[in-house]
Amino acid sequence: MNQLLPQPQRLRRKTGKPFRIGKDSVLELVTERQEPRLERHCRRAFPEAQLSCIVGGSGYSLCIGASGSEDGSESQAPRQEAAASSREQGYRLEAAEERIHIVAPDAAGLYYGLQTLLQLPDSQGNIDPVVIEDWPDTRLRAMNYDLRQNFSKPELLIRYLADFARYKINALLIEYEDKFPFRKYPELTHPLHALSEEQLQELQSRAHEHFIEIIPLQQSFGHLEYALRRDRWRHLRETEASIGEICPSRPESYELVTDLLEEMMEAHPDSPYIHLGCDEVYSLCECEECREAFGGIRERAFIAFLNRLIEFAATRGKTPIFWHDMLDKCPPGELAALDPRSVAMIWIYNGREIESQVAAMADKFRALGIGVMGAPAVRSFEGVEHQNYPLLANRTDNLLQWNRAAETLDIGCMVATNWTATFSLGYPYGIFETTWYPMLLHAELSWNRKVDTGTYIARFLERFHGIPADRARVLQGNLRLEDYYELARKLPDEARVNPDVAELIAVMHDYEAATDRSRAAHKYAYRLELYPGDEAERHNLLDIYRRNRRGREEVRPRMTEALERYQPADMAAHYVSSRFYLHDYLERTLYRELGLNTEL
């Protein structure tokens, strides 16, 4: 039997002959209410089979048998009833010799049962007898699109929703920043890369199709660089130097921010939540007006403005979410003033004490009636800006620590944050498509918190790259959770699925080897000054320089090509420029001065 991702909660293999779904299969879908999405997914999954859909009873079921068999005509009602007792979004799947039967209490549960079924057939299309009982440990399992800087082409943003759902992800946090088609302030909308109204619609309808809920994020206190860098709003900064942070004391600030929030909420009528951002507002209480109004108490200034935003969102029927960090060390007396119609999203991306840190904060918020959500990171600063793909040991550690916190504290929403850079004027991290490995680990952990992560890499390689476990072991030896990026460079020719993702990672490895990881000319140049005129030193440096230069020249067009598969050409060029600027500069200056690049 194939390996499953995420691993189901309970799986019992049974003896018997395998079942095959094909032309002579008959599908019967029974749904409590009209659910055209499930009908479409069944037709798409098994285009050759005959499908009948019945509305009635309670619960949801899908029965697959061979045409002419007695099973197809059995009454469905009792089977659906059995589903009513199981858990929200859960399902029971039984594959036997004569038929396959999935039951679920809700439409999402049946959809997840179908996703598992699609992972079951082996390479011959055989499904071995098995009973699976499965349900999510976390109600909202979210990925994250950050559209502030370098991000995937709109058609990919839309296409990935089906990929997320295949691994039972059911929510997506989106920070559009200036890629949102603002109406009242069209000058805030990026001229090239903003999503159109149609794309925004398409994103939402595709999310709905795959049982994914979108949580829009509209920054409303800090990280407003795209607005406050403009002359029209520059005077609203808290200080001249706080480029992205707005002064809460000026009436125009509230007006601007709530105008943006209103449009964001209206554009997502089906989203119960609106994320207000509100992280990293470092300059609080630095202007004269704020100091006076809030007695110089930063948290008081923060909560006063946040409460106005919570009121604004709550009266429009939305549950507002805010990042927790500005209230991290808030005195209890001040925190008590926070409007409880809100949810704190706790984000911690590094460190070894996540469980206890989250517990302390969750207790504080929950005691005030404020909800809590969790945010690990699948990409993060890591203290090294130049990362080209996630630093995996940190990411897996972060996800695993958060997983324990989620279990202990029963956190109902976990978001795998996936930022493009530290902030919108920042240096880009490795691109989104390099993060599938930690993203799907998050998908797995948020579905099944007690899963054996020791088998994750083998299951990922099989599901995401189509590489069987025995072949993966030949390539890498014993597979550890942290081995993926090391292994991925060997995969472009091995992967039957997603070879482009492997090539993207391989290119980034080759770039790092040519610039920094093997001997790098700029690090050796000082030796010429220490040993002037020494022939051996000069030869050595020249040799290193030539190797570096060859490697860089070889990898540059490959990097452009790999990036352009996923991003518009100018974004790809931005990334290449961020990685090659220093080396090109050294060519024009240091290497010329040393006479290295004239001796080729």
Residues binding Zn ion (CB under 5 A)? 238, 247, 249, 287, 290
DSSP per-residue codes, 70-102: GGGGS--HHHHHHHHTS-TT-EEEEE-SSEEEE
Q: Which two tokens stand for residue 87?
A: 């858990």
Q: Which two tokens stand for residue 554?
A: 């070889």
> Considering the complex, what minimum distance in angstroms separates the CB of residue 302 from Zn ion?
11
Our CB check for Zn ion shows the closer of 247 and 257 to be 247
> Considering the complex, what minimum distance in angstroms separates the CB of residue 250 from Zn ion?
7
197-209 vs 36-45: helix axis angle to the nearest 10? 80
> Considering the complex, what minimum distance in angstroms separates the CB of residue 178 from Zn ion?
24
How many whole angstroms separate alpha carbon 366 and alpha carbon 138?
A: 18
Our CB check for Zn ion shows the closer of 307 and 350 to be 307
Our CB check for Zn ion shows the closer of 238 and 462 to be 238
User: CA 143 → CA 34, 107, 441, 443, distances in Å?
Assistant: 28, 21, 11, 8
> Considering the complex, what minimum distance in angstroms separates the CB of residue 248 from Zn ion?
6
Our CB check for Zn ion shows the closer of 2 and 307 to be 307
| In contact, 505 and 487? CB cutoff 8 Å | no
Our CB check for Zn ion shows the closer of 251 and 332 to be 251
Torsion of CA 511, 513, 519, 525, to 10 degrees: 10
Q: Which two tokens stand for residue 391?
A: 């630093």
> Considering the complex, what minimum distance in angstroms separates the CB of residue 287 from Zn ion?
3
> Considering the complex, what minimum distance in angstroms separates the CB of residue 249 from Zn ion?
4
> Considering the complex, what minimum distance in angstroms separates the CB of residue 252 from Zn ion?
12
Residue 360 neighbours by CB under 8 Å, 6+ apart: none
Q: How many CB atoms lie within 10 A of CB 589?
A: 10
> Considering the complex, what minimum distance in angstroms separates the CB of residue 294 from Zn ion?
9
Q: What are phi and psi of 193, to 5 degrees?
A: -110, 5
> Considering the complex, what minimum distance in angstroms separates the CB of residue 290 from Zn ion?
3
| In contact, 215 and 321? CB cutoff 8 Å | yes
Our CB check for Zn ion shows the closer of 226 and 302 to be 302
Our CB check for Zn ion shows the closer of 249 and 434 to be 249
> Considering the complex, what minimum distance in angstroms separates the CB of residue 239 from Zn ion?
8
Our CB check for Zn ion shows the closer of 290 and 338 to be 290
Strand partners, 371: 343
How many whole angstroms separate alpha carbon 103 and alpha carbon 82?
A: 8
Name the strand (E) or helix (H) holding 356: helix 354-367
Among residues 247, 227, 231, which one has the least CA distance to residue 239? 247
Our CB check for Zn ion shows the closer of 159 and 235 to be 235
Q: What 3 state SS string does 530-592 have?
A: HCCCCHHHHHHHHHHHHHHHHHHHHHHHHHHHHHHCCCCHHHHHHHHHHHHHHHHHHHHCHHH
Our CB check for Zn ion shows the closer of 242 and 396 to be 242
> Considering the complex, what minimum distance in angstroms separates the CB of residue 289 from Zn ion?
5
Among residues 145, 162, 209, 219, which one has the least CA distance to residue 419? 145
Strand partners, 95: 100, 130
> Considering the complex, what minimum distance in angstroms separates the CB of residue 283 from Zn ion?
8
How many whole angstroms separate alpha carbon 54 and alpha carbon 357?
A: 50
Our CB check for Zn ion shows the closer of 247 and 362 to be 247
Our CB check for Zn ion shows the closer of 21 and 287 to be 287
